[in-house]
Structure 1
Amino acid sequence: MVSFFRRNAKEEDVEPETEPKDIISPRYTGNYDPGNMLDAYNVEDSTLEAAKKMDSVRSEHWYDGFVRLFVWYPSFLPKEEKLLLFKIDVVLLLYVCASYFTKALDKSNITKAYNANMDVEINFTGNDLSYAKSLYSAGYIVSMGLATVFVTRPKARFMLPLLETIWGVLTFCQAAVTTSSQMFALRFLVGLAEGPIFPSVVYTIGSWYKRDEVYRRIMAFSISSSLGGMFSGFLQSAAYTNLSGKGGMSGWQWGFIIDGIFTVPIALLGFAFYPGSLDQAKNVWWLKKDDLALCRKRMLESGVKPAGKLSMSLIKRIFCRWHVHYYTAFWVLLNVVALPDGVGFDLWLKSRPDLYSIPDRENYPSIQNAVGVVAQFLLAGLADTFSPYIFLTITQVLFVISFSSLVYWDIPIGYKWFCFMIVPFDLVNQSLVSGQINRSLRRDAEERAFVIGFSDAISQVMNIWTNIVFFPTSQAPEFRNGYIASLSGALVLLFLPIAGWYGDRYDTKKFAESDLKMLDTIEADSQSTGSVEVDALAHDSDGNSLKKGAYQVSIAGSSSTSGSNASAS
């Protein structure tokens, strides 16, 4: 049996035979007398400890976090759990990374094409690039609204490969545009197809991995976007240099075609391999019943509740809690901070033809992406062991230094390069906040899915006008107003995480009793019968546990079934 409370092999060997009831552990399953003040005190202590255990990190030494950057399958895990994690990483994680890689290619290629003389050939001038980015955001928002409702449903696992196929075809179509209005229409449709992907994948990753596993997986997913942006520059540069004029097409047109060639085959593979969330993976061919049983037990131990039925009470649950308001504000500010990414450095290079050729303009932004990869690997990867708030603070301090310097603008070229290299740290913010949403909302699948999609959608609503107002192409390359806006966002983000920290403490106390009951049930049932039957534990707006169904998980791996789980109504 896999014990969530096991920190390492030695601890289990020296586990005390008895546990004093005045320091009740989460394993204690005695009957408490509500009238006894000592018991009441012990219940409060033990329930809080149980909630903390669900969100704890299995590590012993301070340097474990650095070891985990490279060792993803630690020695204290049983062999079958290591093999299961490896299987999920190879299939699920690798696929979503490949998918997001192509998404980054298809998102950033318009700026690369713009720098490769597309602006001249189709009269894509003035603020047209800003308008195209805003129309992409508009399409993104429309489709994301639908995804927040659909992502927890059984058939949602087919959504990602279907939409990726559509945006791959649209990428091909962009190579044929001859006017700016045609490009505007296609960018809107590309955004429409790409909108649900990010929130649905973040939700899916949070459905398969524990607290000390999820940040590294989201980090890998986010890094794939940086690699896509980096590779896009190399592709466009190679296309401009080697394919210009071939088949009567310009180099920027070949760039769109090559991106489409990458996208469509990966999309088609998703129909066979992508499992969706754990609730949607019942008939996935590469996961056995034993695997699903162990996955369900792992996630229940980590406090992640299965999806239930949709009901009107969902709206009340969501908007009467703090999560949606906090994370929406965070995502809006995160996107304000991220506005210069893919714009500021690229257009500054374009403004200096005396220093940088067209291939230079395509290749040098890849250095930014490489810095983003390293930053995410270190800062977001370490969040699996240490508090993510530490790394959020480090990132905002760097942003304050960078944006305040770019506001001044009249700085040496070498220092300006340094400031631009800080900009891709915005992806560190994205990785950390995505992991936090999954952990903060682990007790309610529907709320978790909605908040991920809703908060990102609202931030994209802001992007529709912030791109035009703060980073209009006509004001390139200085963008003084834009860097002031991004600096302001970074300053607020220095202090906003404090509110999230208090919110998580509040939830730990609010749901502590139901967390303890679930952990006791898992432990007692698995020891006595070899199986685990656990309440779905949906909660009403006051945090009361409502039993609407159960998961039955065979620890021996012989069978696993899931009953009907309904949200509180």
Structure 2
Amino acid sequence: MVSFNFRSKSKKEEEQVTDPYTVDESTNSDSAHSYDAENNVIDDEFERQRALEVVNKADEVRAKHWYTGFVRLFIWYPSSLPRYEKLFLFKLDICLLLYVCASYFTKALDKSNITKAYNANMDVEIGFTGNNLAYAKSLYSAGYIVSMALGTMFVTRPKARYMLPLLETIWGVLTFCQAACNTPSQILALRFLVGLAEGPIFPSVVYTIGSWYKRDEVYRRVMAFSVSSSLGGIFSGFLQSAAYSNLSGKGGLSGWKWGFIIDGIFTVPIALIGFFMYPGSLDQAKNVRWLTKDEMKLARRRMVESGVKPAGKIKWSLIKRVFLGWRVHYFTAFWVLLNVVALPDGTGFDLWLKARSDIYTVSNRENYPSIQSAIGIVAQFVLAGLSDTFSPYIFLTFVQVMFVISYSSLVYWKLPIGYRWFCFMIISLDSTDQAIISGQINRSLRRNAEERAFVIGFSDAVSQAMSIWTNIVFFPTVQAPEFRNGYIASLTGALLMLFLPIGNYFGERYDNKKYALEDLKNAENASVSSEEIIESGTEKAPYELNQEIVTDSASE
């Protein structure tokens, strides 16, 4: 039971207020006898089960009916929250989420524009033939891995908040440079450098989102972040099509070159805004101008309630601890398989359209893949969005079943055009897997910031390492458009991903049991150290509320 005592505090009492981001081991003395924090041992089985029951109940989804879950897709600021917390969430969505979405939108533009340029006759003009397209994608992945290995370990450091806008500025300039290329070797070199600049961005943003949002908020925010990539895919096609149709020959430049210039014009201004808007993780946001001290207190309290730990020092013992646990192995396996399943995205449909030039014009080839992206947006909004309310396993299962149907049909290949379109459209669901698993990583690894950053980066790096050779082996450009071996590989990955989430389910149960009392103490400490005045008729958050926690066992 929680009782609230509205009173003013003395100066001495104010000095004794515990920082909301610090767990006071003396709190909740009733359960202290049964929990050894150093060895993580729980002696009293009854106390452990009581804590586990409380934590599991707090972690359950809040909606009992599908209708309620769909309503929550559109209600991001529930009425149960105090007004000041809703205002804080809205401010966070505008300043943090909107910026990372805009940034990832430009990243999608600058990643996919190579295929769009290829379809706009770049291959003919500069001799970009043979397997050069596959080589360009592999070199992008190689650069991605090199920088990710360094960037992921840096993401928890104090100055890491400047990494995203700085790297985005660099890849924006490199995007401009691709418009000046006249040989395949120049394109290949620049694709490696673009990958080098973009490498740390995805894992660092996923880590950052998990540092600000609670369990029942994070999936929808990751979904919005992932949707911005699909929007980039949509606009990339339309921009390249418009550039090819309206700007070809202007200034002595081909239409596909104008596509790179337009993408750069989008990228660089957004990157510069990031130096002022992007806060980084909660630990790095001390000097961010749009956050007040009270809002920082509120943000810390919310993360303590969710059991999200602040970053500490990086030690070599972290590596040992990570690889002795189950999480890094599960998430790495998932990302690798997701990469294999997603290989046809941006390749299979696009090159099939190019191969059917008797039916589809250049504009068709640029615009039609946008339909895939649009389907991906809807799927992410519904399936990843509902993962905030319901178990994500049912949505992961649905997506993999659809992949099995699509890839088994494409292996056969001799399909009616309408059904082939249906199979190609299913490929866009790979973005839904990405959004859901990004939310799961933040949830499963909330108890250790360094491990969370490492696992996000390591798993993505290993999957990108696979791309270096899988693009060439399974989807070589010279085998377009059938790619029989490629679709067999993707089908195998989808089948394995049907059963892989079972490992996450049992891993989560094990962790909840192991850390039950610790999670319960974190939630109670957050309540003890949050002081809020709610004045008559208004709601403020200067944190002047004394809360006395009376546990069930104490009352008994």
- TM-score (norm. length: structure 2): 0.89
1:71 lines up with 2:39 in the alignment? no
C-alpha contact (below 8 Å) 1:140/1:196 kept by paired residues: yes
CA distance in 1, matches of 2:66, 2:29: 32
Structure 2 letter corresponding to 1:494: L
CA distance in 2, matches of 1:47, 1:321: 23
Structure 2 letter corresponding to 1:557: Y
Summarize deviations over 1:335-388 as a string: whole Å, max 9, x none: 000000000000000000111000000000000100000010010000000011
Distance 1:242 1:33, change over 3 A: closer
Structure 2 letter corresponding to 1:419: C
C-alpha contact (below 8 Å) 2:532/2:543 kept by paired residues: no
Share of identical aligned residues, percent? 74
CA distance in 1, matches of 2:527, 2:163: 36
Deviates more, 1:452-461 or 1:64-73: 64-73
Q: Which residue of 1 aligns with 2:16?
A: none
Q: Which residue of 2 aligns with 1:317?
A: 321
DSSP 3-state at the match of 1:404: helix
- From 471, 475, 479, give the equivalent of 1:475: 479
1:520 lines up with 2:506 in the alignment? no
Q: Which residue of 1 aligns with 2:241?
A: 237
Q: Which residue of 1 aligns with 2:551?
A: none
Q: Which residue of 1 aligns with 2:178?
A: 174
Superposition map of 1:167-316 within 5 A: 167-316=171-320
Q: Which residue of 2 aligns with 1:457?
A: 461
Give 1:44 shift: 1.7
Structure 2 letter corresponding to 1:321: G
Q: Which residue of 2 aligns with 1:162?
A: 166
DSSP 3-state at the match of 1:335: helix
- From 557, 562, 565, give the equivalent of 2:543: 557
C-alpha contact (below 8 Å) 1:54/1:302 kept by paired residues: no
Give 1:60 shift: 5.3
Q: Which residue of 1 aligns with 2:441?
A: 437
Q: Which residue of 1 aligns with 2:140?
A: 136
Q: Which residue of 1 aligns with 2:342?
A: 338
C-alpha contact (below 8 Å) 2:336/2:459 kept by paired residues: yes
C-alpha contact (below 8 Å) 2:306/2:523 kept by paired residues: no
> Which sections of structure 2, spanning at least 5 residues, go unmatched?
4-26, 36-42, 534-539, 546-556
CA distance in 1, matches of 2:508, 2:463: 22
Distance 1:233 1:32, change over 3 A: closer
CA distance in 2, matches of 1:525, 1:178: 62
C-alpha contact (below 8 Å) 1:290/1:558 kept by paired residues: no
CA distance in 2, matches of 1:140, 1:53: 41
Give 1:475 shift: 0.2
C-alpha contact (below 8 Å) 2:532/2:544 kept by paired residues: no
Distance 1:83 1:390, change over 3 A: same
DSSP 3-state at the match of 2:469: helix
Q: Which residue of 2 aligns with 1:57?
A: 61
Structure 2 letter corresponding to 1:85: L
- From 41, 44, 56, give the equivalent of 1:40: 44
Summarize deviations over 1:16-39 as a string: whole Å, max 9, x none: xxxxxxxxxxx986357669xxx9
DSSP 3-state at the match of 1:30: helix
Q: Which residue of 2 aligns with 1:30?
A: 30
- From 119, 122, 126, give the equivalent of 2:126: 122
Deviates more, 1:39-48 or 1:204-213: 39-48
C-alpha contact (below 8 Å) 1:138/1:188 kept by paired residues: yes
Q: Which residue of 1 aligns with 2:7?
A: none
Summarize deviations over 1:213-272 as a string: whole Å, max 9, x none: 000000000000000011000000000000000000000000000000000000000001
DSSP 3-state at the match of 2:357: coil
Summarize deviations over 1:39-82 as a string: whole Å, max 9, x none: 93430222212432553434454422101111111111110010
CA distance in 2, matches of 1:395, 1:83: 35
> Which sections of structure 1, spanning at least 5 residues, go unmatched?
4-26, 532-553, 560-569
CA distance in 1, matches of 2:253, 2:529: 67
Give 1:206 shift: 0.5
Q: Which residue of 1 aligns with 2:88?
A: 84
Give 1:530 shift: 6.7
Give 1:309 shift: 1.1
CA distance in 2, matches of 1:392, 1:273: 34
CA distance in 2, matches of 1:161, 1:292: 22
Summarize deviations over 1:115-148 as a string: whole Å, max 9, x none: 0000011100000000000000000000000012
C-alpha contact (below 8 Å) 1:226/1:373 kept by paired residues: yes
CA distance in 1, matches of 2:209, 2:420: 37
Summarize deviations over 1:459-493 as a string: whole Å, max 9, x none: 00000000000000000000000000000000000
Deviates more, 1:185-194 or 1:316-325: 316-325
Summarize deviations over 1:411-447 as a string: whole Å, max 9, x none: 1000000000000100000000000000000000000
Give 1:313 shift: 1.4
CA distance in 2, matches of 1:218, 1:32: 36
- From 364, 379, 383, give the equivalent of 1:360: 364
CA distance in 1, matches of 2:491, 2:65: 37
Structure 1 letter corresponding to 2:30: G
Distance 1:390 1:29, change over 3 A: farther
Distance 1:524 1:290, change over 3 A: closer
Distance 1:96 1:417, change over 3 A: same
Q: Which residue of 2 aligns with 1:417?
A: 421
